[in-house]
Chains A and B, each alone.
Chain A
Amino acid sequence: MSKLIALPHTAPFAPEQIAALDKVIGASSSVQRAWLAGFLAGMDAAEGKQPAAAAVAGPKPKLLVLYATESGNSEALAAKAKQDAAKLGFAARVQDVADADVQSLKDAGTIIAIISTWGDGEPPQRAAPFFRALMGDAAPRLDGVKFAVLALGDSSYAQFCESGRQVDARLEALGATRAAARIDLDLDYEAGAKTWLAATLETLAPKNADAALAGSVIHVDFHKPAAEAASKSSPFAAEITAHHKLTSDRADSETVHIELSLAGSGITYEPGDAIGFVPENDPALVGAMARAVGLEGDAALHEALTARYDISTLTAKQMKDYAALTGDAQAASLAENEAERAAFLAGRQWIDLLEAFPHRLGADAFTSLLRPLAPRYYSVASSQKLVGEEAHLTVARLAYEAAGRARLGVASGMITDRLRAGGSAKIFVRPNPHFRLPQNAETPIIMIGAGTGVAPYRGFLQELEATNAGTQAWAIFGHRHFLYDFLYQLEIQDWLKSGVLGRLDLASSRDQPEKRYVQHVLWEQRERVRQQLDQGATLYLCGDAKHMARDVDATLNRILADGRDEKAGQAALDALISAGRYKKDVY
């Protein structure tokens, strides 16, 4: 069961203490917690101290990690720097100079600039405009800003680390103070960068204990029990703190990664859970619907069609009801004739019906035909033990063409096309106790997933990393093109390096003449699968229900049958399932 409140692993207590507190607080009622809060505050007050909550309210010191990159080295270092800085209690941001406005540097607080040199002594291509602005007369004074520069280069070039030098000199000229001496690094920069960053962040780190503490303090709203913090009926409006594509622009379809802030919601989840997302309909479609029934002007209806009703899905019953309501004979005969109706319904939606058989309708009459707009679910792709008060999602943009119209998924389309970082998403948690990591870290796991089916495994792997459980983990992932939609490739590489992930097998379906899917990998690896299962491994399967799940089941059946007939295979598979050792989360 997902706890109502869990102290983050960063809480200033020993693991067993955290567990103990979780037990008490987790099971406590709102009244009990409110009392406890008051009591603790009172304790400090009695000793003349400020209550902690007040002490830590102060904002974290700002740190801007700027990078200029061509081939990604600086970018990778910048990401690392941000992580480390955050651990030290900074409010750290990473920014590509290509997206940075020179004027904004005034308020950057502290800047760590990671700059590579290209051409012969040129800045990276995308960084050129920023360089011009920075070197130009219009560049702002940067008095009060602190900075340190890490320059990447190749000493075999005449102008070694030239761009880094320029930035270093220019920032000083603009009045900023150099917090650490610039370092010029050659192609073998990793080690040097590591030590320099550590030392520099050390010197910059906020010495003030409260500020440092602020890095790990979780603000829980004690007055609102978490159980009610968010639900289908009253979802939590989570701020979107990150929103970016995971797939290449060359990919056949788009998948995005979003990060939601749960701060203040008291929402907690476990890897394997799903996040319920409450969508709104596409304003364009809402407009078209209103127009189709002659109610353009009706603001209330617009509002209702946007947020309350499912205006896309069209059912047989709805066709009949519409025909009845409008008394449209043609529509009626279509709705009554089984075959014709099915043919019409295939790939069609409400808007198609309304435009095929247009009638002016009253708002209430119209909405009485519609079903409520249902939330959509997305596997949580993170672990709170690693990301704290955040939830990450992996969302595939559903776009297809049917019955002569381009269609866009209601929720996925909203998330990919209309939501952006800084906006918010209405969410709640849907616990999924049947799709959890094994209780026992000794149990090996085999994670099979394709497309967004890898999402929950990112949560699993984050969890294994945070708890360094030492679990034997084997992933079998599928995608279309190795180069274009290998989701979370860089993170997976790190997990393989660190050993959190023991083995990875990939199936790219469209990189070669013959199609290759996860079930093909399973079959090639059947010996290893059997041997892992003999060692008590738990199997996980996540992703497309229609095709993948069916083919994987058939293949597992053959593998388990191990020469015997199909019934034997099925029996063995069922045994695994009832033993809770074959867990599925398919959709």
Chain B
Amino acid sequence: MTDKTTDTPKLSHNETIKTNSRFLRGGLAEGLNVVESGALSEDDQQLIKFHGIYLQDDRDLRPERAKRKLDKAYSFMARLRVPGGVLSRAQYLAMDRLSDERGNQTLRITTRQSIQFHGVIKTNLRPALRQIDSVLLDTIAACGDVNRNVMCTPNEFAGRAYAQAEKTARDISTDLLPRSGAWREIFIDDEKVTKEPEVEPIYGATYLPRKFKIAVAVPPQNDVDVFAHDLSYIAIVENGDVVGYNVLIGGGMGATHGDAETFPRVGEVIGFCKVENAVDVAEAVVTTQRDYGNRANRRRARLKYTVVDRGLDFIVNEINSRLKVKLEPARPFKFAGNGDRMGWHTSEDGLHHLTLFVENGRVANVGEWKLKAALKRIAETLDVAFILTPNQNIIVAKADDAARAEIEKILAAHGVKLRGSVLREAAIACVALPTCALALTDAERYLPGLITKLDALLAEHGLAQQPITVRMTGCPNGCARPYLAEIGFVGRNPGRYNLHLGGNADGSRLNRIYKEDADEETILATLAPLFADYAQTRQGNEGFGDFITRRGIV
């Protein structure tokens, strides 16, 4: 869409919203005081994302509402900014309480190592954010056209290299944090705390064309999926210390059904930087995207499209031209896989760390299985830390021998098993219905049942112990990074998914569509013969995705 008068493309409406927002204020303060509606104006709905908050409505309830003269069941979802996913026990406890008092009584661990609260109604939003602020956490820039929560391979208590990588993640997060005082002003203090005019030295008044995502990986783990983000860092470790990072750009998952202009893409390594230059590199990449990103069409506004449209060399030159210290040639690296290291691990200092399986990241109490109560008890009684993982699990970190024994007791007492099946532990699903406005079908609520059926199928072919990454999303936006899975399910219509095959175990290769719009019956009927064939003709311990690719099945 270009407007008649000039041939410069017409800016997307969101650009106007940002321009007129007075650094992300808009009409939010007033809108939150409107009592008869749980919603906000269209424009403020876009703005509030910059503060880590989304307006949603419970789609399960839609059919009943208008007939009963009820407005949609609006509530807010709030997302923490917590680089690398590290929480103190006090912080974890506060979040647990918050979800009970102001949310839907669950915590949702996300694929970017954060926590989401669902079901926070308008009158509870400010109190909720004040509870978050009271434990020195915030939701600033957890959504919106800015740098999102910075991911990092856990865990900082497991060794020097991890701690150094985590520090880089935090430094980048802090450096790219919007400077606007709007968040505190609107949600916490309820009055102006910053005197305008403010400046956004990095972003400028209209911020970025689109969301921007950064991750830091410590090989051999690629749990953060470095190939899926706008900008990633791969730690290069020498004698236990991080000496620098390989830099990748231009990755991204999101796409739209039936729109060839949009597609998932794996990031490309563009060089190496020393630890002390990592933040400068982030600024250079972000400002390049700020200046060259597409501000006319939001579906084409991510860095991956800027790279495709302008060419990688052009972008890399831009980046280097903004750096005091240019990028060096990339160093060799090797990834083992993109899952979490489940179960107990002991670090050199003798402390124990438990990566606990949390199905689809939903921390709740369901019947006999009382995970939420168990974690609460652990946080109340033991001196441990909590780390949210990139695969929606949680690490209970730095437990001494006594604490380790106690943790096992508490979990058992609350009906929580340490492990799931091999397939289930590695599987992730996005939230989708009922809260996600963009969902075309279920994901989180459907995957567990499907896994049970797939496990049975795999067992028939003696593959029960074979690790295979399964990822499901309720729409093509790719929130669970399904295009990097060996088996990916991408929601298309109610109860129907596009079946993707051929990703590899370390998450460096995109899978491809094998079957479109498949319901459960079709899914199982399609996979059964492939599993059989795989069991028969796999070469050595060849992964399922590699097998599919070698055989040219997709």
Interface positions of A (Cβ within 8 A of B): 69-72, 75-76, 79, 96, 98, 118-122, 125-126, 128, 156-159, 244-250, 257, 482-483, 486-493, 496, 504-506, 508, 511-513
Contact = CB atoms under 8 A, between A and B. Distances in A.
A483 B73 contact: yes
Contact of B62 (A70, A250, A486, A508): A70
B68 A246 contact: yes
A257 B66 CA distance: 13
B123 A248 contact: no
B492 A483 contact: no
Interface string B27-41: 000000001111000
Contacts of A72: 62, 65-66, 72
Contacts of B440: 118-120
Contact of B258 (A69, A158, A505): A158
B238 to A, nearest CB: 49
A71 B68 contact: no
Nearest to A245: B68
Contacts of A487: 69
A157 B74 CA distance: 24
Contact of A244 (B57, B68, B256): B68
Contacts of A156: 299
B56 to A, nearest CB: 12
B38 to A, nearest CB: 7
Given A244-B67, A248-B61, A492 B101 contact: no
B368 interface: no
Contact of A71 (B62, B101, B127): B62
B71 A122 contact: no
8 contacts: A119-B492, A119-B493, A125-B494, A159-B258, A492-B36, A493-B37, A508-B123, A511-B121
Contacts of A504: 35-36
A125 B434 CA distance: 14
A76 B70 CA distance: 11
Contacts of B73: 248, 483
Contact of A120 (B61, B123, B258, B494): B258
Contacts of B63: 98, 126
B66 A76 contact: yes
B258 A79 contact: no
Contacts of B35: 504-506
Interface string B435-457: 00000100000000000000000
A79 B69 CA distance: 11
A488 B65 CA distance: 11
B46 interface: no
B75 A483 contact: yes
B401 interface: no
Nearest to B493: A119
B39 to A, nearest CB: 10
Nearest to B496: A119
Contacts of A76: 66
Interface-central residue, B68, B102, B493, by most chain A CB under 10 Å: B68
Contact of A483 (B38, B258, B299, B493): B38
B209 to A, nearest CB: 16
B323 to A, nearest CB: 37
Nearest to A246: B68
Interface in B48-88: 57-59, 61-75
Contact of B121 (A70, A122, A483, A493): A483
B446 to A, nearest CB: 15
Interface of B: 35-38, 57-59, 61-75, 101-102, 121-124, 127, 256-259, 299, 440, 492-494
B70 A248 contact: yes
A491 B67 CA distance: 12
Going nearest first, the 8 A-B pairs with the smallest beta carbon separation are A158-B258, A120-B257, A75-B66, A490-B69, A72-B66, A483-B73, A119-B493, A506-B35
A489 B257 contact: no
Contacts of B75: 483
Given A75-B66, A156-B299, 9 more contacts: A69-B66, A76-B66, A119-B493, A119-B494, A126-B63, A128-B494, A248-B73, A482-B122, A483-B58
A490 B70 contact: yes
B470 to A, nearest CB: 23
A506 B299 CA distance: 40
A362 to B, nearest CB: 48
Q: Count chain B CB atoms within 10 A of each CB in A122, A490, A493, A513 and give the residue with the most.
A: A490
Nearest to A508: B123
A496 B36 CA distance: 9
A528 to B, nearest CB: 14
A157 B261 CA distance: 12
Contacts of B65: 72, 248
Best-surrounded residue of B35, B72, B299 (most CB of chain A within 10 A): B35
B64 to A, nearest CB: 6
Nearest to A505: B35
A257 B492 CA distance: 38
Contacts of A98: 63
Contacts of B494: 119, 125, 128
A490 B493 contact: no
Contact of A488 (B38, B69, B123): B69
A75 B68 CA distance: 12
Nearest to B67: A244
Nearest to B65: A72
Nearest to A485: B70
A399 to B, nearest CB: 18
Nearest to B297: A156
B70 A512 contact: no
Contact of B38 (A157, A244, A245, A482): A482
Nearest to A504: B36
Contacts of A75: 66-67
Contacts of A121: 258
A159 B61 CA distance: 26
A245 B68 CA distance: 6
B36 A489 contact: yes
Contacts of A506: 35-36
A513 B256 CA distance: 42
Contacts of A491: 69
Name which of A156, A482, A486 has the most chain B CB atoms within 10 A of its CB: A482
Contacts of A492: 36
Nearest to A122: B493
B124 A511 contact: yes
A346 to B, nearest CB: 35
